[in-house]
Structure 1
């Protein structure tokens, strides 16, 4: 949905029109920004927290978790380093800059795996849902930037709990909050750099069937243990030896592709996810569990299977998400199914796991003309469709 993003008292800027990415989403009612973005931008402008320094040098804004570029686009005239773990958010930022004919000359895009600059004068921080990611990002900020930096976080008021504020207090320093405006709230921190924190190591746990040791970076889904959907999926993989070129789509830590490699070490598997930390975790897990098979695997951060060659693989295995950030939506699953149809060879298979109530079999049959129930329990189904 094209939605105007208007910041009060920002006399030098015209209204921004922002669109969620990918732009062809089915649910067009979802906005590309929220009240927390609006509150944060208005506060920065009203308090005049960005201006040219005495030497004429542009201030440096370090922005975290900017879903579709609303923050970066509003401060385009300054130096901006934008950090995200999401490939889709990164592409969404670029899309909205192009949509509004904005120059990206002052913007540096950084992934969650990159080092951050140490000369930021202002940190704008959208609070992520993932607690482990929140902690890792706060530690990185504190260990890198000056304690004189201005730090302001933002989120929906209902998401800023006492436990959330305790984490800011623990990992950054003295923490206060604003009043709520349009059900959003700001968090202010004065960094105390006297006490440094060590970045947490990846979590690690094992599964027995197949026998694997799995490592998970901070933003990996179900990083503490095997989620029940994935468990159902790998227990019902069946015989996949007829498939030589396989994609693990939405791979997370790579558990599905790893399970296939354990059964079928001749397979060539491409691990694909939109999270940089997920793809890095999948690569780490192949290196740890099957070091001799790394050369026949690819690890790609992408928006589903965008730009993959058509009719190029034998099978796609997928555990699709049903949300994007805080929005519940099935457009990602639908895009995954359509992209899978495109890249599959004739007689290639799309196999997925999903909650029973999501009705994925209807979408798959509409695309492929067929659908088979492989396994089910009271919560999940494993489904298969063949490209004829």
Structure 2
């Protein structure tokens, strides 16, 4: 990526030489160009929110920025990109969306996330640290910035305007208003599950902002909950890509002797899963892990892996995550262990499962979804 401060070699995480998607886009370039062209003073505490693969903080590393991200993969990419650029360890502070934000912010740069709820939560958490002199600039592709996006900045920060579009990217300029009365942060948000889904019927769900289908049970998970495998005794079960933890909690409720591992690359998701599990007073044992899928989990250590793989990476459609989840599950399962997958029928996961496991069985299906099982031989 060419920046006003030099050229940077950037990659996503995990690194894959076959990867066709870049670790930055035109909105990152537009923001950096604006900061340089307008001579924006990068003094005091510079906070960068939602920097997807570390492009922004790597370019601004000389100013000691603070990165706030919900993505473990994004944070690991940032570490790798900083090291590749020769940035000294500790020069950039890496925080998660679950960490307390800085007490004072002098420059706030916001990469608009896909989730409006996550943007709302982060702006409300950061607003008390913003003062009248804070420079606030948001950035995103035109298709990511809507009227609702601008209204959030208006309601939480102050008067807001946008730039002209360049290369399908746009900037957001917000002038902090210290007298603004901000709404109460509605996150985390809770609701009760419906009564027709098995062991978890009527149970509480806790959702931090940005978690998939945080305001209601999505139809894919509802279908999965009706067709989960029966387990008895001391089994180790993994809720892979756990989101708010509904699936793993349902398994634990049905079998209190099970040991459930909740895994997701989103810090918000794992916090939601832990809150959901605790809200239901499940007597079993659980572990909550933020990470790159099943990387770092011992091989041959699980009896069952349950997953609903995502098929988007930000705005890009990709099956790379599903491939890695299936391969990771095959490594992690014991001989005879089972991977259970729910997905949209059109995604053709049965083909991938046969390539990884050598087998795939249809457990249940409707016009939109299928539940598939693959067994490690």
Task: State if a TM-score over 0.5 links the two structures.
Answer: yes
Report the CA distance between 1:304 and its aligned residue.
0.5
| Counterpart position of 1:306 | 295
Q: Give the Cα–Cα distance (whole angstroms) in 1 for the partners of residues 57 and 257 of structure 2.
A: 45
| Counterpart position of 2:124 | 139
| Counterpart position of 1:16 | 8
Q: Give the Cα–Cα distance (whole angstroms) in 2 for the partners of residues 219 and 160 of structure 1.
A: 16
| Counterpart position of 1:376 | 365
| Counterpart position of 2:134 | 149
What's the CA shift string for 1:9-31, capped at 9, x where partnerless?
x3xx43101112221275x2211
Q: Does 1:353 align with 2:349?
A: no
Q: Give the Cα–Cα distance (whole angstroms) in 2 for the partners of residues 290 and 18 of structure 1.
A: 44
How many residue pairs get aligned? The number is 371
RMSD value, Cα: 1.5
| Counterpart position of 1:99 | 84
Provide the secondary structure at the position in 1 that maps to 2:354: helix
| Counterpart position of 2:210 | 219
2:145 to 137, 149, 160: 160
| Counterpart position of 1:177 | 162
Q: Give the Cα–Cα distance (whole angstroms) in 2 for the partners of residues 158 and 385 of structure 1.
A: 38
| Counterpart position of 1:283 | 274
Asked whether the equivalents of residues 143 and 197 of structure 1 are also in contact (C-alpha less than 8 Å), the reply is no
Q: Give the Cα–Cα distance (whole angstroms) in 2 for the partners of residues 133 and 315 of structure 1.
A: 31
Q: Give the Cα–Cα distance (whole angstroms) in 2 for the partners of residues 25 and 328 of structure 1.
A: 18
Asked whether the equivalents of residues 338 and 374 of structure 2 are also in contact (C-alpha less than 8 Å), the reply is yes
Asked whether the equivalents of residues 162 and 172 of structure 2 are also in contact (C-alpha less than 8 Å), the reply is yes
**TM-score, reference length from structure 1:** 0.92
Q: Give the Cα–Cα distance (whole angstroms) in 2 for the partners of residues 362 and 328 of structure 1.
A: 18
Q: Give the Cα–Cα distance (whole angstroms) in 2 for the partners of residues 193 and 139 of structure 1.
A: 13
Q: Give the Cα–Cα distance (whole angstroms) in 2 for the partners of residues 371 and 25 of structure 1.
A: 29
**Paired residues for 1:1-388 under 5 Å:** 5-7=1-3, 10=4, 13-24=5-16, 28-50=19-41, 59-194=44-179, 195-207=181-193, 208=195, 209=197, 210-211=200-201, 212-241=203-232, 244-293=235-284, 296-388=285-377
| Counterpart position of 1:55 | none
Q: Give the Cα–Cα distance (whole angstroms) in 2 for the partners of residues 291 and 381 of structure 1.
A: 28
Cα 1:238/1:292, change in 2 over 3 Å? closer
Asked whether the equivalents of residues 59 and 79 of structure 1 are also in contact (C-alpha less than 8 Å), the reply is no
Cα 1:243/1:256, change in 2 over 3 Å? farther
Q: Give the Cα–Cα distance (whole angstroms) in 1 for the partners of residues 314 and 334 of structure 2.
A: 32
Cα 1:306/1:161, change in 2 over 3 Å? same
Provide the secondary structure at the position in 1 that maps to 2:346: helix
Asked whether the equivalents of residues 256 and 282 of structure 2 are also in contact (C-alpha less than 8 Å), the reply is no
Structure 1 stretches of 4+ with a deviation exceeding 6 A read none
Deviates more, 1:194-203 or 1:349-358: 194-203
Q: Which runs of 5+ in 1 are unaligned?
A: 52-57
Asked whether the equivalents of residues 375 and 382 of structure 1 are also in contact (C-alpha less than 8 Å), the reply is yes
Cα 1:238/1:313, change in 2 over 3 Å? closer
Q: Give the Cα–Cα distance (whole angstroms) in 2 for the partners of residues 170 and 48 of structure 1.
A: 27
Q: Which runs of 5+ in 2 are unaligned?
A: none
